[in-house]
Amino acid sequence: MFYHLFYPLHQYVFVFNVFQYITFRLAGAILTSLFLSLLLTPPIVRKLKKHKVSQTIKEFTPPGHLQKAGTPTMGGIIILLSLVISSILWARLDNRFVLIILFSTIWLGLLGFGDDYLKLVKKKGHGLAAKYKLFGQLVLAVILGIYLCTFPPNPGLGNVLGIPFFKEVTIYLGWFYLFLVLLVVVGSSNAVNLTDGLDGLAVGCILLAAFSYALLAYIAGHARFSAYLLVFPVPGSGELTVFLGAMMGAALGFLWYNTYPAEVFMGDTGALFLGGTIGIISLLIKQELLLVLIGGIFVVEALSVIIQVISFKLRGKRVFRMTPLHHHFELAGWSEPKVVVRFWIVAIILSLIALGTLKLR
């Protein structure tokens, strides 16, 4: 919005020329969403407490989690509002990638909100039935997949899949790319939801993932940088940097209140759209496989659940003490803050490896 309002004035007042620069609007988006997140959290937390929208502790959970009962949840609405408002203010609204990611964010945010609302406000069991939640994710994925197969981010490349570490190795998927979109959207959305079990864990990892993809989006949208680093050029994708900056600011502000001991949890309202949008951005900038590294913590958390279920059904034995994986380490004697910080460290290392592929191509 600010770009459309103020940049045309640069022909009269030169200072307004700064609104054309992504880096300037990135800084504005980060600070705006950070301020909004810090400002909105206290009144929203009070409202959640008033209406007793609080965390319920499952029967099978580490003993230390019993003290979390009664903590306000559904705080993802704070991140959602801060992110969307800041993005609308600072991103270019005539950019197709911005419109796609805002639509996807709101779609998944409302899906998560509906689940939390039924579960926590209406007290309807486990909230939105798993099949309806999955249906909502699949509908978005199908819409997005058909669009990307018909109008690829880079028309010259078509529906190809790049291989990290190799500069000229690609796999043409054609319409099979649609199945990759389904896997990425549904998988990334639910993986973050599984990771959101310790104070600050999921939002901290999202912060790191957003930073990594912001850098990749900026490079992909910059003709000179993408050519030098042998990254798929995606004209216009640089605007996603502004969106991801807004995500970083909102996540950082939320982390202020979500760090141990948490004053508020994000719930499905936050987890579904945060994971889903990171996955969708990986598709938009043609860096899908790097999601396995950048979102490595989320991948491992989801795999731990799959492995546990398969092992128990086939062998009648558990591989881990408890899943998702962070609970396994808690039961192994690690304190909650230690698990969270060490997972953050692993996430930083994985992001550095992913970004390191830029110079190894």
Write out pLDDT tens, residues 140-156: 999 999 999 999 998 87
Q: Which residues of 101-126 are buried (b: 16+ CB within 10 A; e: fewer)?
A: bbebbebbbbbbbbbbbbbbeeeeee
Strand partners, 160: 172
Structure tokens at 207: 């912060």
pLDDT the model gives residue 361: 60
Band (pLDDT 50/70/90 cuts) for residue 228 is confident
3-class secondary-structure state, position 74: coil
Contact assessment for residue 347 and residue 297, using Cβ atoms and an 8 Å cutoff = yes
* Residue 343 CB neighbour total at 10 angstroms: 24
User: Is the bond preceding residue 324 a cis peptide, omega within 30 degrees?
Assistant: yes
pLDDT in tens, 263-277: 999 999 999 999 999
Contact assessment for residue 277 and residue 192, using Cβ atoms and an 8 Å cutoff = no
Band (pLDDT 50/70/90 cuts) for residue 66 is confident
pLDDT in tens, 168-183: 777 888 888 999 999 9
Structure tokens at 222: 């910059």
Chain-wide mean pLDDT for the chain? Answer: 91
pLDDT in tens, 109-134: 999 999 988 888 877 767 788 889 99
3-class secondary-structure state, position 148: helix
Closest by CA to 192, choosing from 312, 278, 288, 90, is 278
Contact assessment for residue 202 and residue 317, using Cβ atoms and an 8 Å cutoff = no
pLDDT in tens, 288-347: 999 999 999 999 999 999 999 999 998 988 999 999 999 999 999 999 999 999 999 999
In this prediction, residues 35-40 reach a mean pLDDT of: 97
Closest by CA to 223, choosing from 237, 244, 210, is 237
Burial of 197 from C-beta contacts in 10 A (0-12 / 13-18 / 19+):
buried
Please provide the size of the chain in residues: 361
Distance in angstroms (rounded) separating the CA atoms of residues 315 and 301: 21
Residue 238 has pLDDT above 80, yes or no: yes
Q: How would you write 84-97 as a 3-class SS string?
A: HHHHHHHCCCCCHH
pLDDT the model gives residue 158: 75
- Residues 248, 103, 108, 23, Cα dihedral to 10°: -10
